[in-house]
Amino acid sequence: MELRDLRTFVAVARHLSFHRAAAEVFAAQSTVSARIAALEADLGVRLFERLGRRVALTGAGERLRDYAVKMLDLEDETRAWMSGESEVRGSLTVRVPESLCAWRMGGIIRAFRQRYPLVKLRFTACTLEGLEKDLRQGVTDLAFLMADSVRAGDLAVEALGVEKLVLVAAPGHRLASLKAVGPQDLRGETLVLSAADCSYRIMFEHLLAEAGVALAAGVEFSSAAALRGCVMNGLGVSILPELAVRADVAAGRLAVLPWSESDLETAVLMLRHKDKWLSPPLTAFMELVRSHLMAGSESGLGPVRRPVELLPLAPEGGPEGAGKGGTGSCC
């Protein structure tokens, strides 16, 4: 693979247009087509589907895009280092649950940008699919999960604190007027939940199953914002991080149901590959997280009150870790 061809590929992937990519890389469109063809021949896969005048990435193309961006960023960082530029360049790719990023990381990101203004930051949704592989291969530099157990394998896992969870519904919901809500009160209720690999969703479903509570067919969202909006409109009951719904509860758009059982909470974990080179930007970002994500009771994080269970690493896509303790959260 030639870096020139990868740069051309990234341009086509960004624009989904050979014509616009040619203008970006200052080459003729025929040259762009030849470079993509050479890359496809070298890798033995199709990277783009040509659908008339439309261009779409194949599955292999989407995968290569992540690797290619990291490789080109590394080239830029190397050139800056070797030429003696004083400003650090490069990029960090972080997988993080939506609510954790939205409600906790704003100040951390701002502080990091002030220190490393030329380092690109990419935040992606934290799904478990391929996470360990991406951390091992450097596609993802750092990941965060809300979980009490995680597949350990060759990952370095650091427990940062505990996230308080709450059961919420619309203020007019039948359960909102009760002084205490237990598992049996949810019999026949519609649970509005985040994606299937959300650890605290799995924990809560297991708790209800142990109590013998039969639920109505649930409704599942990949977006926490969409989930909250539907709960506000009376769709059902959900379990979410307390901080993510604090403003909605204060404004009267959601009501916290007084759960009568043990506290609802989940650990917040930071993960990286144990052999990952800790560059100065990555080290700085991790230190900011340690210092500020956990700081103060107002943040909703407290000390970890129970150990985090490190499970043996299951084969890619395997079922291990998807039981009682859960695996990780994208919500």
Q: For 25-54, what is the mean pLDDT? A: 90
Q: Output the CA angle 162-164-166, nearest 5 degrees.
A: 160
If one compares 4 and 74, the residue with the highest pLDDT of the two is: 4
DSSP state of 36: H
The domains spanning 3-70 and 163-265 adopt the same CATH topology = no
The secondary element (H helix, E strand) that includes residue 241 is strand 238-241
User: CA–CA separation, 96 vs 105, rounded Å?
Assistant: 10
| Cα–chain center distance at 84 | 35
CATH entry 3.40.50.2300 includes domain 3-70: no
Structure-model confidence comparison of residues 272 and 301, the more confident one: 272
Return the half-sphere exposure (C-beta side, CA atoms, 13 A cut-off) of residue 215: 21
- Of residues 34, 39, 38, 7, the one with CA closest to residue 21: 7
Q: Is the pLDDT of residue 153 over 90?
A: no
pLDDT band at 170 (very low <50, low <70, confident <90, very high): very high
Res. 34 pLDDT band, cuts 50 70 90: very high
The share of the chain scoring above pLDDT 70, in percent, equals 83
How sure is the predictor about 42, in pLDDT bands with cuts at 50, 70 and 90? very high
CATH of the structural domain 163-265, one choice from 1.10.3720.10, 3.40.190.290, 3.40.50.620, 3.10.20.30:
3.40.190.290
Give the confidence band of 46 by pLDDT, cuts at 50, 70, 90: very high
Q: pLDDT tens digits, residue range 183-203?
A: 999 999 999 987 755 677 878
**What residue segments make up the domains of the chain, in order of their start?**
3-70, 86-161+266-311, 163-265
Averaged pLDDT for residues 61-85: 76
Query: What stretch of H or E contains 240?
Result: strand 238-241
What one-letter code names the amino acid at 261? E
* DSSP assignment string, 149-186: EEE-TTEEEEEEEEEEEEEEE-TTSTTTT-S-B-GGGG
Is the pTM for the entire model greater than 0.85?
no
Interval 217-257: pLDDT, tens:
889 887 778 888 999 999 999 999 998 899 999 999 999 99
Q: What is the Cα–Cα distance from 279 to 299, expressed in whole angstroms?
A: 28
Q: Dihedrals φ, ψ of 272, to 5°?
A: -150, 165
Mean pLDDT of the chain: 81
| Residue 194: strand, helix, or coil | strand
Q: What is the pLDDT of residues 312-324, one digit of tens each?
A: 444 343 333 333 3
Measured at the CA of 202, the angle between CA 295 and CA 128, to 5 degrees, comes to 70
Reported confidence tier of residue 331, pLDDT bands at 50, 70, 90: low
Q: Residue 44 — very low, low, confident or very high, per pLDDT cuts 50/70/90?
A: very high
Question: 86-161+266-311 falls under which CATH superfamily?
Answer: Periplasmic binding protein-like II (3.40.190.10)
